[in-house]
Amino acid sequence: MTDLLNQIAQIVGPQGLITGADVQERAADFMGFTRCQAQAIVRPASTAELSAVMKLCHAAGQTVVAAGGNTGLVQGQVCDPADIQVSLERMRAIGEIDPVGRTMVVEAGCVVQNAQEKAEEQGLKFAVDWGARGSATIGGGISTNAGGNSVVRYGMMRDNVMGLEAVLADGTVISSMNVLLKNNAAYDLKQLFIGSEGTLGIVTRAVLKLQPAPLTTQTAMLACADFAAVQRLFVEVGHQFGPGLTAFEVMWASFYEPMVASGRHTPPLPGGHGCYVITEMSGTDPEADPGRFETVLAGLIESELVVDAVIATSQAQADQIWAIRDDIPGLMMFTMPSVTFDVSLPIREMDRYVADLTKAAEAEFGETLKLVVFGHIGDGNLHILMGAQPFTEATKHRIEELVYTPLQALGGSVSAEHGIGIEKRDWLALSRSADEIALMKTLKGALDPKGILNPGKVLA
């Protein structure tokens, strides 16, 4: 080992340092297709240990890449052979839960699902939720400002973090473990570390906002003839359910039909429709809520806004419906090789955007095209997978052009919730002005003057 690694070993102990061939035993992506290329993996057991490690790395000019649950899709956690990876997998503790103030203190390595389950034990809910909940970590979700399935009701990770603690590039610990809903004591420094992908500091602890757990949850899958009907449906269920609307997920036929045809899932509804919607209503009245939900859906069918529907009559049936939407590994297996996109744009522009994209892609790639569209439509977020043959770097770049370029005129974003990483870095200027990017670089230079934190990610 190098002198630096020997010094780090003195801080974190033998359990806290992985070197040599053992490093490449670790996957570098959530599908396990690539291996970690870092020179070493450091596993601190506390904020103090990470602070001491970062002081050494800063003095040596050693680059450091923080890793969470490895579920990111933009290469934000990818390491070069010269990098040291910092994994917070030994920092998974769940601390105090305040049932009155509705807050929870967790370490950044805590798995999202574990935080959710611990909150549920107290009759509360940590509301940020996405398909990779069983692997993704709180720290990773904070670093990317993760979204997911419930943003339409509860917002992004940023809206659910009250305070946090982070270690800067030079080892300085910024502890802003705020538990107050109202705290206007000058700058809200936690915002610097939410969504900055580990380029400004490494989050080690957080205070999470909790919600009262709903007493009832009604789930249904609805079929619509086309996306125009989906838009009208979203407006209608928003009026009918109000703040009880906790999910509104849409799968185009290009997503739903291959997934159920694969044999991986039992189809809740037959194919042949333009779009499929998963909608969820949460409430507090176990006697009235199911009937209210059924009445609203019956009216939607009678008006022909919905052409077919199935209501989950048990949690197991609801889980089966959600399993189709959450089966991203299965989807990627079906579409590989392909490029994964996570874009946002005004809901009113989505139908035209998808139609124009489909037309342009079909003209460009012909019968070799694979194009799948789905997303969190209630919060303006589309996920797109597109591939074509031969799948070369030139093909990949052309696909990116087709998807990203129209977004600028529509006021859209190249990243709705996944972050920028490496994958979207060269397209950032489509969503941020030159002045905004210049200010980002100023912040980066101020907090990480040597550029050792997650180098090459987010900003070119």
Q: Between the CA atoms of 309, 335, 366 and 273, what dihedral angle is there, to the nearest 10 degrees?
A: 0
Give domain 3-87's CATH number out of 3.30.43.10, 3.40.50.970, 1.10.10.10, 3.40.50.300: 3.30.43.10
Phi-psi region of 212 (alpha: psi -120 to 50; beta: other; left: phi over 0): beta
Q: Which fold has domain 336-441?
A: Alpha-Beta Plaits (3.30.70)
Tokens at 176, concatenated: 């802003």
pLDDT score recorded for residue 1:
62
Residues of the chain with CATH 3.30.70.2190: 216-326
Tell me the per-residue pLDDT of 145-175, one tens digit each, with 9 for 90 and over: 999 899 999 999 999 999 999 999 999 999 9
pLDDT score recorded for residue 32:
83
Residues of the chain with CATH 3.30.43.10: 3-87
Which helix H or strand E contains 95, and what residues bound it? strand 94-98
Task: Please name the CATH architecture into which domain 94-212 falls.
Answer: 2-Layer Sandwich (3.30)
What is the average pLDDT score of the chain?
96
How far apart are the C-alpha atoms of 412 and 409, rounded to whole Å? 8
Evaluated on CA atoms 157, 162, 166, 172, the torsion sign reads positive
What residues of the chain score a pLDDT lower than 50?
none
Tokens at 458, concatenated: 């987010």
Tokens at 191, concatenated: 């915002």
Pairing of the two strands 103-107 and 94-98:
antiparallel
Cα R_g (the chain), whole angstroms: 23
What angle separates helix 289-302 from helix 227-241, to the nearest 10 degrees?
150
- Residue 300 is given by DSSP the state H
Residues of the chain with CATH 3.30.70.2740: 336-441
Q: Between the CA atoms of 113, 116, 118 and 121, what dihedral angle is there, to the nearest 10 degrees?
A: -130
Pairing of the two strands 216-224 and 308-311:
antiparallel
Task: Please name the CATH architecture into which domain 216-326 falls.
Answer: 2-Layer Sandwich (3.30)
pTM: 0.94
From the list 81, 78, 82, 111, the residue with the least C-alpha distance to 94 is 111
* Residues present in the chain in total: 460
